[in-house]
């Protein structure tokens, strides 16, 4: 294989919505141009992006509007915590004196 034509993987994006009252839901997903569009909207609205290829591969298989399965709670909680910290937000009832 020649270096003239590097192999590139398509961009995949999944957007989640978390309202602190129920499990996060898949609100948008796409591959290629659609993924780029989803990420551009997120950036334009100051929504943090996080790269996690393994998690995205699983989430992109879920139907739109679907709550994430319990098996993914920990992985998604880490993404949400990352987004919260970037925005200086903390979950309800969070005690910062720990």
Q: Which residue has the tokens 């499990």?
A: 23
| Domain ranges within the chain, ordered by starting residue | 12-87
What is the value of pTM for the model shown? 0.77
Q: What is the pLDDT of residues 60-89, one digit of tens each?
A: 999 999 999 999 999 999 988 888 888 777
**Is 12-87 assigned to CATH 1.20.1250.20?**
no
DSSP 81: H
Specify the pLDDT at position 4. 66
């Amino acid at each position: 294989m020649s270096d003239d034509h590097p192999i590139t993987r398509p961009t995949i994006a999944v957007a989640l919505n978390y309202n602190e009252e129920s499990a996060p839901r898949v609100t948008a997903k796409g591959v290629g141009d659609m993924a780029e569009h989803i990420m551009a909207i997120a950036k334009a609205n100051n929504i943090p992006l996080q790269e996690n290829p393994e998690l995205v591969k699983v989430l992109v298989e879920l139907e739109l509007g679907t709550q994430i399965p319990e098996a993914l709670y920990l992985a998604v909680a880490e993404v949400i915590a990352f987004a919260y910290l970037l925005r200086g937000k903390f979950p309800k009832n969070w005690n910062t004196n720990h």
